[in-house]
A and B are shown apart, each in its own frame.
Chain A
Amino acid sequence: MTLEAQSVQSTENLPAQTNKPIPSSQPLSYRRAFMLVLKRDLTIAMRHKDDIINPLLFFVIVITLFPLGIGPEAQTLSRIAPGIIWVAALLATLLSLDRLFKSDHHDGSLEQMLLSPHPIFLLVLAKIFAHWLITGLPLILIAPLLAVLLHLDENSYGALVFTLLLGTPVLSLLGAVGVALTVGIKKGGVLLSLLVLPLYIPVLIFATSAIDTAALGLPYSGQLAIIAALFFGSLSLAPFAVGAALKVSTN
């Protein structure tokens, strides 16, 4: 009863304090929105180190196991090195894709992002860039070291780094489309691989071909150009596809 009496009183007091206007909003800025989401995702990844370590560890383990399984002959290893490194990078990326939108979907922050006045493609692009910084970049940094382990031809190191530099963002961008489509499904892991892996194959083919060509001492700019085309194509289209897919998934 006392509670009721109090509350009635508080309603009567209201007119005195109601004239405070609705707070004004800040002007929207694309750059600020991009940096906001990027900073948030990097902060979360730094505090949740599994996200960074797991794919990297997977990459290292797969590559170090191959020489043990196949044998230490330098010739065989250097022949298969480009394929092993690229397949491992591809699977490591696939392994890490789930985190891209799943936890945000789970705790409701994805809904909030979809409802923010900022364009969705921009927020999505920031998230994908953060994902690449967390998973793609460490792979690129450690790949030359692992290539030594596999006796990669010394002419191929440049090609290896360049293909990874152009190719891993493509993996993140295309993967994001797959995750966005499957984020609403409870166990979408298998479906995700089925959706995404076929799209990764062109990158794999041209990247390994570039590294092989480099080993023969021939120019590999053609393959690089195709990977670059894939990169810019997916960079300009994937964020919109992801935005549309997320809208469908949260419907």
Chain B
Amino acid sequence: MNTLHKKNSTSLLSGVKLTCIREERLLFDELSLQIHAGDIVQVEGPNGSGKTSLLRILSGLSQPYDGQVHYQGQSISRCREEFQQNLLYFGHLSGVKGEMTAEENLNFNLALHGNNTEDSLAYLAKVNLLGFEDSLASHLSAGQHRRIALARLYQSSAPIWILDEPFTAIDKQGVASLEKLFIEHANRGGCVILTTHQDLISIKPEQVKKIVLDYSS
């Protein structure tokens, strides 16, 4: 049904005939998509249309009912380590531990994914959390939790960013700087796949590819 075609260059990430069934409901059927370096892809659709399921399948967290996900033409189950080194997934849950400070959380997340932790304070500053680096995350707000998790984007070595509702609980200014970061990332050869119900402000419509999930049965 929904396809994004650009055949000439090899795609960074592609889905081949993905089918997803949840609770005996068909969310999408034979969905094929190709994502190239430099793409910003927005997955759209009403609640329950399978946006999160699609992103989880693309990141390898969930298995599709049918079909395959390929990273640079190779099935992601074949090249797990390489794929995951080049992937940054940000889900509904921020993965921030209340018992650790903002800085410890960020350092752990960076190191876990093989990134440098040297300038972590600078990245906390970029998400407006300077001054909170030694506060336990459990004392911070929901938006600040998301910001701790998102600070990782500034030092990510991964070209593929899969972001599920990255703007939830983030203020306007934060959204603007995130959008700027996405454009920067796309321009330097990365790709961003995101879902959001907000309108993108600084990313121009022609820069964004849309995948609309509206399969209703």
Chain B 178-191 interface mask (CB, 8 Å, partner A; 1/0): 01100111011110
- Contact size range, A: 35 or more
Given known pairs A22-B190, A25-B85, the reply for A108 and B112 (CB within 8 Å) is no
A48–B115 CA distance with the chains assembled, in angstroms? 28
Given known pairs A23-B155, A36-B108, A115-B89, the reply for A251 and B63 (CB within 8 Å) is yes
A50–B180 CA distance with the chains assembled, in angstroms? 43
Stretch of A39-47, A67-75, A145-153, A233-241 at the chain-chain interface: A39-47
Q: List residues of chain B with CB within 8 A of the CB of A40.
A: 97, 100, 104, 108
A250–B93 CA distance with the chains assembled, in angstroms? 13
Q: Are A112 and B114 in contact (CB under 8 A)?
A: no
How many chain B residues touch the partner (CB < 8 A)?
A: 51
CB-nearest residue of chain A to B93: A108
Interface of B is mostly: loop
Q: Are B97 and A109 in contact (CB under 8 A)?
A: yes
From the candidates B97, B113, B188, B204, name the one contacting A107 in the complex (CB within 8 A): B97
From the candidates B112, B116, B202, name the one contacting A8 in the complex (CB within 8 A): B202
CB-nearest residue of chain A to B187: A18
Q: Are A14 and B114 in contact (CB under 8 A)?
A: no
Q: Are A111 and B61 in contact (CB under 8 A)?
A: yes
Q: Are B61 and A114 in contact (CB under 8 A)?
A: yes
Q: Are A118 and B157 in contact (CB under 8 A)?
A: no
Q: List residues of chain A with CB within 8 A of the CB of B144.
A: none
Given known pairs A113-B112, A115-B60, the reply for A107 and B96 (CB within 8 Å) is yes
Q: Within 8 Å of chain A (Cβ to Cβ): is B140? A: no
Q: Within 8 Å of chain A (Cβ to Cβ): is B159? A: yes
Q: Within 8 Å of chain A (Cβ to Cβ): is B62? A: yes
Q: List residues of chain B with CB within 8 A of the CB of A117.
A: 81-82, 84-85, 113-114
Q: List residues of chain B with CB within 8 A of the CB of A250.
A: 61-62
- 28 inter-chain pairs at a CB distance below 8 angstroms, sorted by A residue, are A7-B176, A11-B203, A14-B180, A14-B187, A15-B187, A17-B184, A21-B188, A22-B159, A23-B116, A23-B155, A25-B85, A25-B114, A26-B116, A28-B114, A32-B111, A36-B108, A36-B111, A40-B100, A108-B96, A109-B95, A111-B61, A112-B89, A112-B95, A115-B59, A115-B87, A116-B112, A117-B82, A251-B63
- For the complex with contacts A7-B179, A37-B112, 5 further pairs of A-B residues with Cβ separation under 8 Å are A11-B183, A11-B203, A36-B108, A111-B89, A115-B59
Which 8 residue pairs of A and B lie closest in terms of their CB atoms, listed nearest first?
Answer: A108-B93, A7-B202, A25-B157, A117-B85, A18-B187, A108-B95, A109-B95, A47-B99
- B contact set with A: CB distance below 8 Å: 59-63, 81-82, 84-85, 87, 89, 91-100, 104, 108-109, 111-116, 136, 155-159, 172, 176, 179-180, 183-185, 187-190, 201-204
